[in-house]
Chains A and B, each alone.
Chain A
């Protein structure tokens, strides 16, 4: 132990460190490309803490110091205090309700001496730790439904609180932890059911409801026809198939419209429909939507506008892009939120297809490396935590990029290590450096 303390660099995975530095640098450059105004002295404004790129630069410095602290910490500290962290995270989330400052309609931010702190972001780390702690308990049998439910509760408790703070996008991130549970033995059928349900919802939005009902019925009939021998042997199977049919048609006819009219906010409905490129049907505007519609009748174009401008920005990049500081779309404010959620546009416009694929390749390298690192752990805790990190990064990256190119609805979640924002950068740095620290001690079996 004393030897390891003396030399913190031992056992550290340098590939992760290098990729991390590359991504943060790319992020700084992209933010610089968006917010630099011609004629400013570069060096002075970089150090001046007035411009966004300067602020991001200082955030990165702080993140690095924090990362060093984490590397200096004893790796046993994390499994030992995981549940404490989790409790702290939940407490912070609860504290938001009385103490939040309302910035841009969200109620998830606490102002703390000039800095905005978003507990929901931070909770990704605590949930990853707590879930790893729970799954690595030797007493626990994850094949039991009860254990699976507890794990689900650990993950979804902060998600619920986050939804209550009007941050649906951030809440969705917590669902990515199901990948960790899947790795640890959650039945694969659940992922399949999840995927099928998602397909059904998308189909509901795209296809006329009567035609979809007919298609579902035909599929059911076909399944019954091909399984007629099994059905003869087991009448229960027929009941199950019909039950599935009822559920599917129910979701399609009533479930989705109900969710759209009563659960989702209007802007979310708009974003979803602008992604699939359709007008919002009248039936999805009923209920509480009616009054909102009357008030903000004009807003229906904004969601569309954002995605369109974002697609124009990326599309106009071509193969090699227009070069840094030359992108007309991102330089002159056509793309909204381009420092934060739409930062990928800067890469796409400035460096084209080559640059975008290069960045995605870097991310893929990071994810694969984390999976490899996870699989070489002797400790279940470390492995679970590593998968947690991979899942969170994957979800952020995939959803963020997909939304900028019009494949996913606009959900306000940042691109890891690249988007502007202190909380986000610090969170991802902590997330990754804890993993690096744990991996450095991969020969130990941690609890």
Chain B
């Protein structure tokens, strides 16, 4: 039998061999033919751990850091490490949460990030919480503190121009061509945004080996492929932090802006915007609540009015109008205008504050007495220049001058989203008057009214042009970059280029204008800006403005404007101040400018200024109509909320007709500033109250917060 079946031993061997060949073929397919498995194994096991560099620091002119880094702590939890006998109650007491919240956070952590990996349990502990936890940490295994670098503002100032950082979103990543990765922090505004490339430094990458539960177990190839992080470089700015602190103090409880520039360099010495807020409010643990409060506040505290506020310059424009007339040759320093209290050449009267004969006998006198008639006339002479031909060409020429002076165009400051202000064009008037208009139509452009709107930065820069007798440097914050190399050249090059918009004006003519401005201080409207021992040149402005409130155009209290520079002989500082709806330029804006100049030039304040500082910083000049606007915005939102969520709890209080809540309670606590203001104004406001029905509210959608001044 065995002999009979002997051949079967070969068949069995063939079966063995066949199976082996099939296996080897599949092995060859997996190991030799296909590359994807190697790649997959790498993805499986190698984790690119990004090492974030320390962000660059921003210093003021004296090397004091105004934007720095600090460490706060996130409380991390690894759910798998929590012991059975964990003292939940005392842990919850420590953090001030209840056990239900504790449980839901743990569950959330497990769902999001598994049991074995650490997740954030509580982000950005307050110092008290951190201290309490550190004392007791031995009692709570599974919980650890993890450092998290955040930005800090040692002087509590500069929120508006320093900007903020936040995590990149999908759009940023796309824009950067996938340079940024999820979890990166980028500058979203201000200098943080403009100098992102300098400040961010260079990310490092550590290749870590992870196991099947994604725990990191060591460096890949002993760190052979790792790259180290390079810290971001610092920025040295022109900013004088003392000046900035003063400026923000002065603007407390006001809507407006202060910009101070060093005319010689174009370096911005201070830029403040009211309502002011503490930039540290937007870092730390309460940042989300604070941010929400500011976004919903109609006074728009987040808006940098230094570059985004649009104000009719009023009389502060007059010296510029004079310069243009001189450069065009339509007036000379000796030109005068026989003003007797008004300008009547165009039929309708343009009033003038002075009516005595000879107050505008020449340019210097006209500026000193701020003669409306003279500058309206100068404007008309410029536009109707017989050498040019017709009014439209003349107007184009005038507009060109304005743009060269940095008005109606972006100056190019090193901050994002600068406003152009508004210098009207021929097209604007053609559209409005169907092509038929003359220099009479817009004659108040000569005294900084009509459609003209300028930002405080543009005004300050214009003051620099006068102070410098015809040239300026584009205003900017950053003086130099730490460890600057040739590669950084393009970043700052445009700020080191001299602009000379005016070329035909003699020194004598400049003298007329500058002396006129000095006269304003010594004997004119700006006597408030007098600094003993220093020749200050200034120009006040009191600009009319109006705004649509409740569907009606309401004429508001004049904006208080002030432009100045000093010293006259060797200008070191030029300041522009705008305080919204505060009245005469000399009342509020003037003293603010003087205090800043004094501080900068003398490094100390006179007794008068100290008193003024106290008085001004304590005065509340928040325009009263904001209460109304806030009410409209809040009630509209409440109605919207009621519609979307079927929850009328927020709406109910608006329907009762009782005293309006200035904002929703939660958000209120976030913005102490505005809350105080609103409370102060409640009594005044109560009189105008009407009971709002939902129909009314539909008509009155929230008013644009920037407020179109008309």
Interface residues of A (CB under 8 A from B): 38, 142, 179, 182-185, 188, 309, 311-319, 328-329, 332-334, 348-349, 352-353, 356-357, 360, 363-364, 367-368, 371, 374-375, 380, 383, 387, 390, 394, 398, 401-402, 405-407
Contact = CB atoms under 8 A, between A and B. Distances in A.
A402 B212 contact: no
Given A332-B209, A383-B2, A405 B8 contact: no
Contacts of A364: 16-17, 20
B38 A360 contact: no
Given A333-B211, A356-B31, A407-B26, A371 B13 contact: yes
Nearest to B1: A185
Contacts of B213: 333
Contacts of B24: 357, 360
Contact of B22 (A309, A348, A407): A407
Given A328-B44, A328-B46, A333-B213, A315 B38 contact: yes
A360 B31 contact: no
B9 A332 contact: no
Residues of A contacting B: mostly: helix
B4 interface: yes
B644 interface: no
A383 B6 CA distance: 11
A273 to B, nearest CB: 18
Contacts of B34: 315
Nearest to B32: A353
Nearest to A318: B31
B31 A329 contact: no
B356 interface: no
30 contacts: A38-B218, A185-B4, A185-B5, A188-B11, A311-B30, A312-B40, A312-B44, A314-B27, A314-B37, A315-B34, A315-B38, A319-B32, A328-B41, A328-B46, A329-B45, A332-B45, A332-B210, A333-B212, A334-B45, A334-B211, A334-B212, A353-B32, A357-B27, A360-B20, A360-B27, A387-B12, A390-B12, A390-B16, A401-B23, A407-B26
Contacts of A309: 44
A270 B9 CA distance: 37
Contacts of A316: 37-38, 40-42
A334 B217 CA distance: 13
A38 B218 CA distance: 10
A368 B13 contact: yes
Contact of B31 (A315, A368, A406): A315
A386 to B, nearest CB: 10
Nearest to A183: B8
Interface of B: 1-2, 4-6, 8-9, 11-13, 15-17, 19-20, 22-24, 26-28, 30-32, 34, 36-38, 40-42, 44-46, 209-213, 217-218
B28 A183 contact: no
Contacts of A349: 41
B44 A353 contact: no
A183 B12 contact: yes
B23 A407 contact: yes
Contacts of A318: 31-32, 38
Given A319-B32, A398-B19, 10 more contacts: A38-B218, A311-B30, A316-B42, A328-B209, A329-B44, A334-B45, A348-B31, A380-B2, A383-B2, A407-B26
A52 B44 CA distance: 25
Contacts of B28: 353
Given A312-B44, A315-B30, A333-B212, A371 B38 contact: no
A332 B212 contact: yes
Contacts of A328: 41-42, 44-46, 209
Contact of B12 (A179, A313, A353, A363): A179
B31 A394 contact: no
The CB with the most chain B CB atoms within 10 A, among A309, A314, A316, A375, is that of: A316
A270 B371 CA distance: 94
Nearest to A352: B31
Contacts of A380: 2
Nearest to B210: A332
Nearest to A333: B212
Given A328-B46, A364-B17, A406-B26, A315 B37 contact: yes
B34 to A, nearest CB: 6
A148 to B, nearest CB: 13
B47 to A, nearest CB: 11
A352 B41 CA distance: 14
A371 B9 contact: yes
A315 B23 contact: no
Given A328-B46, A367-B16, A371-B9, A312 B22 contact: no
Contacts of A353: 27-28, 31-32
B491 to A, nearest CB: 43
B218 to A, nearest CB: 8
Contacts of B15: 179
Nearest to B43: A312
Given A318-B32, A333-B212, A334-B45, A312 B37 contact: yes
B23 A334 contact: no
Nearest to A395: B19
Contacts of A360: 20, 23-24, 27
Contacts of A390: 12, 16
Nearest to A38: B218
B5 A184 contact: yes
A334 B38 CA distance: 14
B8 A332 contact: no
A405 B30 contact: yes
User: What 6 A-B pairs come out closest when comparing CB atoms?
Assistant: A315-B37, A328-B45, A316-B41, A332-B211, A333-B212, A315-B30
B2 A394 contact: no
Given A319-B32, A332-B209, A368-B16, A183 B9 contact: yes
Contacts of A317: 31
A185 B4 CA distance: 9
B111 to A, nearest CB: 13
A182 B27 contact: no
A353 to B, nearest CB: 4
Contact of A375 (B9, B20, B31, B45): B9
Nearest to A37: B217
Contacts of A315: 30-31, 34, 36-38, 40-41
Contacts of A406: 26
Contact of A184 (B1, B27, B40): B1
A390 B27 CA distance: 23
The CB with the most chain A CB atoms within 10 A, among B6, B8, B36, is that of: B8
Contact of A398 (B5, B23, B209, B218): B23
Contacts of A398: 19-20, 23
Given A182-B8, A314-B37, A394-B16, A405 B23 contact: yes
A446 B580 CA distance: 117
A162 B303 CA distance: 78
Nearest to A407: B26
B37 A311 contact: yes
The CB with the most chain B CB atoms within 10 A, among A142, A315, A371, A383, is that of: A315
A398 B21 CA distance: 11
A375 B3 CA distance: 10
Nearest to A321: B31
A179 B9 CA distance: 10
Nearest to A368: B13
B45 A405 contact: no
Nearest to A380: B2
